[in-house]
C-alpha cells in the first residue's frame, strides 16, 4: 500500500491511498484502502490520514477516523493521536498497521505498530525520510 497527504498554500488538505491488497487474499476481497474513515480520510477542519498494514485490522478498528477523533475530541497533536491509535488498535484487535497524518494546522503525525514503515515528507524544500522506529 502507498499513500500521500498534502496541504497546499490555500490550506486544502487531500489524502490519497492505493494498494494491491495482501498476498494470498481471496479473489474479490476488498481491504481498508477504499473505505473512507478506515484507510483514508480528509476533512480540512481536523486533518487528512492515509493508513497501511493489515487491512482486516484497520477496517475493524476504523483507524483513520479514530486518529482524527483523538485530535478533535482529546485535543491531541497529530503525532500523539497516531501513536495512541496505532497502539490501541494492536492491543484491541491484535493486528498491526501504520498511518500518516497532516492536521488542520499543518502539523504531521507518523506512526506504526508494524516492524517497519517507509515514510517521507517535504515541507521546507528538503526531503526527510525513514523506515525504522526511533529513526
Partner 1 sequence: MPQPVILIHGGAGDISDDLVEGKFLGIKAALRAAWEHLEPANGKSSGSALDAVEAAVRSMEQNAAFNAGYGSSLNTAGCVEMDASLMEGREMRAGCVTLLTDVMHPITVARRLMEKRRHVFLGGQAAQELALSTGSEKLPAGALVTESAREALREYLEQEAQGLENNFASSRMDDVRTDQRGD
Indicate which residues carry an active-site annotation: 1
Q: What is the DSSP string of 41-82?
A: EEETTTEEEEEEE-HHHHHHHTHHHHHHHHHHHH---HHHHH
CB of 18 or CB of 74, closer to partner 1: 18
Q: How far is the CB of 105 from partner 1 (least distance, A)?
A: 8
> Which of 74, 87, 92, 133 is in the footprint of partner 1 by CB under 8 A?
92
| Total residue length of the chain | 135
> Can residue 87 be called a binding residue for partner 1 (CB under 8 A)?
no
- Partner residues linked to 53 by β-bridges: 97
> Can residue 2 be called a binding residue for partner 1 (CB under 8 A)?
yes
Q: How far is the CB of 75 from partner 1 (least distance, A)?
A: 19
Here the cell at position 52 is 497501511
> Which of 57, 63, 70, 83 is in the footprint of partner 1 by CB under 8 A?
57
Amino acid at each position: 500500500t502507498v499513500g500521500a497527504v498534502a496541504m497546499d498554500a490555500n490550506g486544502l488538505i487531500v489524502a490519497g491511498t492505493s494498494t494491491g491488497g495482501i498476498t494470498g487474499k481471496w479473489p474479490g476481497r476488498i481491504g481498508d484502502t477504499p473505505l473512507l474513515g478506515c484507510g483514508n480520510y480528509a476533512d480540512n477542519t481536523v486533518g487528512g490520514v492515509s493508513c497501511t498494514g493489515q487491512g482486516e485490522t484497520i477496517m475493524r478498528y476504523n483507524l483513520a477516523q479514530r486518529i482524527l477523533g483523538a485530535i478533535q475530541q482529546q485535543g491531541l497533536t497529530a503525532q500523539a493521536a497516531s501513536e495512541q491509535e496505532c497502539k490501541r488498535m494492536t492491543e484491541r484487535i491484535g493486528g498491526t498497521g501504520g498511518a500518516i497524518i497532516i492536521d488542520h494546522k499543518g502539523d504531521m503525525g507518523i506512526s506504526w505498530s508494524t516492524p517497519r514503515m517507509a515514510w517521507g515528507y517535504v515541507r521546507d524544500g528538503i526531503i526527510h525520510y525513514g523506515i525504522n522506529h526511533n529513526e
